[in-house]
């Protein structure tokens, strides 16, 4: 017959392993979200830069 304490330790060990895997999955998801937010940030910067260049070109056309 197996020691009851050993059964409890094994159960807790399996539960902690499951939690560890879940936290790893969450970590990967957060990394993916971080990359997506970075991509959005770069797109916004490119958009803003495009508008600034367009405004400069318009101003230069009015001056010349």
DSSP character string of 1-63:
---HHHHHHHHHHHHHHHHHHHHHHHHHHHHHHHHHHHHHHHHHHHHHHHHHHHHHHHHHHHH
Position 41 pLDDT exceeds 90: yes
Residues above pLDDT 70, as percent of the chain: 98
Residue 17's pLDDT is what?
98
Residue 1's pLDDT is what?
66
């Amino acid at each position: 017959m197996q020691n009851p304490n050993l059964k409890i330790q094994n159960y807790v060990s399996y539960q902690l392993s499951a939690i560890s895997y879940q936290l790893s999955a969450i970590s990967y998801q957060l990394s993916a979200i971080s990359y997506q937010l970075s991509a959005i940030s770069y797109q916004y910067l490119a958009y803003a830069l495009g508008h600034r260049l367009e405004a400069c070109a318009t101003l230069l056309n009015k001056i010349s």
